[in-house]
Amino acid sequence: MMDFSKKRVLIIDDSPAMCSSLKNTLSNFGISKCETSNSGNEAVFRIRQRSFDIIVCDYCLGEGSDGQQILEQLRRGGLIAPSVAFLMVTAERGYEKVVSCAELAPDDYLLKPFTAETMRLRLERVFEKKETFAVIYELLEKGNAVEAILECDRLLALKSKFTIDLIRMKGELLISLDRHEEARVLYEQVIAARAIPWARIGLAKTLSMAGLDDEAIETLELAIEDNPQYLEAYDLLAKEYEAKGNAELAQTILEKAVEISPETLSRQTRVGEIAYRNGDLTKAKRAFGIVVDKGRFSFFRSPSDFISLSRVHLDEGQHDKALSLVTDAKKSFDKTPELEMATSVMESLIHHSAKNEAAAKLALQKALDVQEKTGIAIPDASKLDLAKSCFLNDKVEEGRALVKDMVSNFYDDEKVQSMVRQMLEKVGRADEVGSLVDNSVRDVIKLNNEGVLLAKKGDLAGAIALLVSAAKRMPQNVQVALNATHAMIVDSDRNGWNEENMDLARHFLREHEAKYGNLEKYKKINALMKDVSLKFGVKIT
């Protein structure tokens, strides 16, 4: 029997009686270090303060966030280590369906009522698996995915009882390192034995990475046909179709996913965004409405939810509703420059549409003043709204500058360019698409190519000067930033460590890691950074 006496436990349940009952249950097999929380917010606060070995969470937590939302915040926010056991407790017989739909499932779940022995056996099984994976988790925490793959191979050779889990882990690690050919072979071997949903998903990812988009689509459609509850397949399939220019079909696919699991607000947001871009205001309003309504207690609620719904009401000519949502956003979130800018821009657009020109100009000026005073980075959606408001309120040059900045940062993003073109058409400036969009794209490509050419010719100093200057002007342009980073690393490798350049290179990598860390180019440059740092005995922080 496993010894649980040293395990520290957190129970999350809105019922004090249930918390007490669970404490008694846990004490039956030696657990005495037990704390309780009656809400998700309190639980997250406790978890930030100290570490726990086991978290037992009730699925239904009254008016606040449910257990699934808490698990999502803890996992996505990196608040709990992989070694922590998360058990969901529920009286709902349908929870198995919830788990099958969830991208982030708990380690196990318990249906009420259950005995202490049932709970002990479940925990033993969970910890047996976690102990098997302990070395892998340790290596991943150190950022050593290559060694983690070798550990997977070692355990697989020992015929571990967790063979399937190890294969799944190995496949995910291979994909993370862009070793998609190896991952593809692995997934094909699994599917040949048994068509497991995650193996089909993994195979589709490797096919997409290899540029075999049609094969990836076929694989995902087959995965959905065989396992219609497996939601990740819908997300990936929608992404594939949108990349191929079929945004309407992508929207339909995501709508099917939210029918299966309407509680996943991040997916509802994606439905709203793509429906809005497709001009389907009815579907966009419904999706964003669900996000605003059901997200009241969500950890992931954002002012952008309110702004997005306000934008839809504005397009429908419902000025009072649009303005009410902006007011709600101001009341619901802490006052920040970002919030002040976003709400002021929306107020400007609403007032202009309602023919309140003086109020529109005043709100626009407030937004511009906030940006000038604080120097905040303007979110893409707000930047487009701000440019639109500038064009509508006789600040044409400011509008043009914002459009050029947006296109320059996303010169290879057709979706962004399409949104900019639509905006210019709406404000009666379709004739400027060529000069503002197409020319900006050409200018960035030319500048980027010039920098790369200088580097290839051996003029690293010239390349660095050109590309770093461009990267600072276009902080969201990942290609320019990566090319600048590569030039600085190569220069240090060839000519000796340059502390200033390498600090800047690390800064560029950190800035783009969250969004572009899985790009093959990013991974190669990041690996080069580690190699050159090791060569000069410099520890990367």
Tell me, what's the pLDDT at 100?
Answer: 58
Contacts of 388 (CB under 8 A, 6+ apart): 349, 399, 423, 426, 427
Instruction: Give the end of a domain, one of 82, 102, 132.
Output: 132
CB 342 within 8 A of CB 382: yes
CATH number at residue 497: 1.25.40
**Minimal CA–CA distance to 71: which of 80, 61, 83, 60?**
80
Q: Looking at the domain assignment, is residue 285 inside a domain?
A: no
C-alpha–C-alpha distance, residues 535 and 541, integer Å: 16
Three-class secondary structure of residue 11 per DSSP: strand
What CA–CA distance (Å, rounded) separates 265 from 300? 9
- Cα 502 to Cα 497: distance, rounded to the nearest angstrom: 8
Which contiguous run of DSSP H or E holds residue 303?
helix 303-315
Task: In whole angstroms, give the CA distance from residue 168 to residue 155.
Answer: 13
Return d(Cα 82, Cα 106) in angstroms, integer: 11
Residue 92 lies in a domain: yes
Q: Cα–Cα distances in Å, from 424 out to 138, 314, 399?
A: 51, 17, 10
Neighbouring CB atoms inside 10 A of 241's CB total: 21
Q: What is the CATH number of the domain that holds 71?
A: 3.40.50.2300
Per-residue pLDDT, 102: 65
Query: pTM of the predicted model, to two decimals?
Result: 0.86
Q: Which domain holds residue 463?
A: 448-535
How many domains does one find in the chain? 2
Q: Give the domain-ending residue among 109, 132, 155.
A: 132
Residue 110 pairs in a beta bridge with 89
- Evaluate whether residue 339 is within a structural domain: no
- 108 bridge partner residues: 87
Kind and range of the H or E element at 467?
helix 460-473
Among 94, 109, 132, the domain-final residue is 132
Is 26 inside a domain boundary? yes
How much is the pLDDT for 101? 54
Number of neighbours of residue 212 by Cβ within 10 angstroms: 15
Would you call 119 exposed, middle or buried from its count of C-beta atoms within 10 A (0-12, 13-18, 19+)?
A: buried
Helix (H) or strand (E) segment spanning residue 86 = strand 85-90
Averages of pLDDT over runs of 10 residues in the chain (541 residues) are: 92 94 93 93 92 94 81 89 93 67 80 92 96 95 91 95 96 90 97 94 95 96 94 96 94 96 89 96 98 84 95 98 98 94 97 98 97 88 94 97 93 89 94 91 93 95 96 93 97 96 96 84 90 88 64
The predicted pLDDT at position 381 comes to 80
| Per-state percent for the chain, helix, strand, coil, to nearest 5 | 70, 5, 25
Instruction: Evaluate whether residue 358 is within a structural domain.
Output: no
Give the CA count within 13 Å in the CB-facing half-sphere of 462.
12
Could you tell me if residue 423 is inside a domain? no
Is residue 212, in this structure, part of any structural domain at all?
Answer: no
264 in any annotated domain: no
Beta bridge partners of 8: 33
CB 8 within 8 A of CB 54: yes
The confidence score (pLDDT) of residue 96 equals: 63
